[in-house]
Structures are given as C-alpha cells and as structure tokens.
A = this chain, B = another copy of it.
C-alpha cells in the first residue's frame, strides 16, 4: 500500500479521499498498488470524518516519514504552502497541487527544487479544475510549442456574464452567484480578474517557458461591464466573456486578461455558466479546444489524484518537468499594445467618430441599430483611447 499525505483538508483536500475510494480499482491498476492517506495536515479537528485520526499539526511528521513518497498540497494561498512545498521537495518527495497562486508566483523555483531532488512538482488542478489540460503540455505536445492559448478560465465570471446576456446588471447577477455559492462574499479575486491572471501566468509558462512577473500581465475584470456592453457584443456578432490569453509571437511573449467579444463562430462562444474552456494553437496540429468543469470539489480533487497516479506509477519520473524561467518585470511585450479587432461605442455623432477612428484602424465598420457603435479591424486600443478618451472599447477575440 502506498501512503500519501494531504496538506489542507478543506473543499478540495477533503475531496481527495472520496476520489481515492471511488476510483480505488482503477488507481490500483495504474499505480500497481493501493493508495492510502496516512497524514492530513490541518489546524482544525475533524471528529466526524473517518480520516479524523490521521490529522497532524506539524509538517515535520511528513518530512521525517520515508513511507510518504507523494504529498497533495490543497492549502491554497502563498504561505505556508510555499514553505511546506519547498520542504517536501527538498526531502525528495513529490508534490501535486491545485494552488494556482503558488504555482504562478513560485512555480519556477519549485520546479527547479523538484528536479534537483529527483521528485516531481505537478499542478494539473491549478488551471481548468478537472479538465486535463496541463499534462498534455508535458506529454502530448512534446513535439510542438503551443503558440497561443486563449480561454475562459474563471467559472464565477463566466456564470455572471452568461446570466447578464438576458439583460440583467452585473450587481444583480453577482448577488445571485453569491447566493448560489459560485462567488465568494469578497468576490475581488474572481471579478477583478486576479484568479484568471494567475492561470494565464501558468499557461504562459507552459507555452513559452517564461514565467512572467505579475506586473507584466495585463488584468481587467468585469465590474465595469454594462448591459449596453452585452448588447454591443451581440450587435458585433458575439458574446462578451472574460478571456485570458497568451501569445508567443515574433516580438516576444504577451499575456493578459480582459473582457472580450467572442465571435459566434469561435469554439469558445458556446461556453456558458460555470464551465471553462481553453483553446490552443499549435504549428502542425492547428487549433484544439479543451472544455469541462473548471472548478468544484471532485473535479479538482480528481486532477490532484491523476497527478498523484503519475507520481506513484513512475510515469512522472520519466516525463520532463516544464521550464518556468522566472523573468523580471519588463520582459513581456505589453498585452495592451498588441494589434486587435475591437468594438467601440462613443457619444460623438457617428460621422464624426467614424472619421476619427479611420485613422486608427485597418478598417472601420459602423454597426446598425441607432448608437454610434463600430467594429474596428487591426487597431491599437491605446491609440483609440487617445483619440476618443470617453469611448467604450472592447477587444474582439480573433
């Protein structure tokens, strides 16, 4: 029997024993042995849990136990998850995690520690919850560099934006999402794009090998999205979504998060509610898309268990851990400066606005339906902002 430890027995950590039990037969087939939880590191007691007697208070118990080969870090947050993960890796253990904050901040350093000490640091659960999205970068795409990734990686904001399509306000749908447990009482990490930014930092590293400084990654949330924006998106032939995007181009690497209009023909346009999806562009394979539940107790726990199986079966040991080279601020090409298509709405008379915009885009198309609304192809958002400081500008995903 293989023994593991769980750090943090909250929503996700508490789901791990469930997945281990329900998939015990398949796990035994993969690992070649059963898997049992020996320790749970948590400050709380769990008298009603069948695992209550395995709760410990000190990481040292885990570090000192040679029986523990793999540790599931499900604490979240930077500290003490960082110190505990580093200590486990230094002790030659492998760590699997869903902690996007830690991976996006310290992933480079922790991957290097894993390599030096002969362990693995795996984080399938950190982006896209249960969608098996990260492992393909280590295995399936081994022969190709992913040039571009664009996705809906935050279920809370996607739920809100989907609900807003029926004409409701941001505040109204946020309250509903909070009542349903899809949004936190303090919703900033979701609605201000912070969570999505962490995830696109991780995807940027997987695509380019560069772990960007947080200051280099553009992030704009959905607090300012209005009913008029949703209607404008419809007139422009799409739906408004919070999109996280990273591009490796000739000028370098860019990454950012912002509300974008997804054209109806784009495979991301049908992604509604709490679902997540990520579209990848590869040189030979072309465009592929992954879709599924981006969060939730069991899907995320299943992602941790899949990484656990990779460690315990020996498969992870034969895979190359990715390079996450931490770069200082100023390394990335600013996301805002990338040429884009955009929807523009202004209070100016449309003939006047059209004349001004013509100087800032390859083409300007005036939208039907009353207002002074346009679709620009091949424009620079900062330039349009400079020309029309009061205009509402929303990027259109290509």
State the A residues within 8 Å of B (CB).
15, 18-19, 22-23, 26-27, 29-31, 124, 130-132, 135-136, 139-145, 267, 269-270, 277, 282-293, 296, 298-299, 301-303, 305-306, 308-310, 313-315, 317-320
Q: Given A30-B320, A132-B136, answer yes or no on A286-B291 (Cβ-Cβ < 8 Å).
A: no
Q: Which residues of B contact A284 (CB under 8 A)?
A: 15, 18-19, 22-23, 130, 298-299, 301-302, 305
Known: A19-B144, A142-B310, A288-B292. 19 other contacts (CB 8 A): A23-B144, A23-B283, A26-B144, A27-B143, A130-B284, A130-B286, A130-B288, A136-B140, A139-B315, A144-B306, A284-B305, A285-B298, A285-B299, A285-B303, A286-B298, A287-B292, A288-B291, A290-B290, A291-B291
B306:A315 contact, CB within 8 angstroms: no
Q: Which residues of B contact A23 (CB under 8 A)?
A: 143-145, 283-284
Output the nearest chain B residue to A293 by Cβ-Cβ distance: B286
Could you tell me the distance between the alpha carbons of A314 and B301 in the complex, rounded to whole angstroms?
Answer: 28
B285:A288 contact, CB within 8 angstroms: no
Shortest CB-to-CB span from A182 to chain B, Å, is 15
Q: Which residues of B contact A267 (CB under 8 A)?
A: 270, 291
Pairs of residues from A and B, 6 with the lowest C-beta to C-beta distance, nearest first = A132-B140, A288-B292, A318-B318, A130-B285, A284-B302, A142-B309
Q: Given A145-B23, A318-B317, answer yes or no on A289-B288 (Cβ-Cβ < 8 Å).
A: no
Shortest CB-to-CB span from A149 to chain B, Å, is 14
Shortest CB-to-CB span from A325 to chain B, Å, is 13
Q: Given A23-B283, A289-B292, A299-B284, answer yes or no on A313-B306 (Cβ-Cβ < 8 Å).
A: no
Q: Given A269-B270, A293-B285, answer yes or no on A143-B318 (Cβ-Cβ < 8 Å).
A: no
Q: Which residues of B contact A143 (CB under 8 A)?
A: 19, 23, 26-27, 30, 302, 305-306, 308-309
Output the nearest chain B residue to A30 by Cβ-Cβ distance: B142
B288:A139 contact, CB within 8 angstroms: no
Q: Which residues of B contact A124 (CB under 8 A)?
A: 140
Could you tell me the distance between the alpha carbons of A18 and B26 in the complex, rounded to whole angstroms?
Answer: 38
18 A-B residue contacts at CB 8 Å? Answer: A22-B283, A23-B143, A26-B144, A26-B145, A132-B136, A132-B139, A135-B139, A136-B136, A143-B306, A267-B291, A277-B289, A285-B292, A285-B302, A285-B303, A288-B291, A288-B293, A313-B319, A318-B318
Could you tell me the distance between the alpha carbons of A310 and B315 in the complex, rounded to whole angstroms?
Answer: 11
Q: Given A290-B290, A313-B318, answer yes or no on A144-B302 (Cβ-Cβ < 8 Å).
A: yes
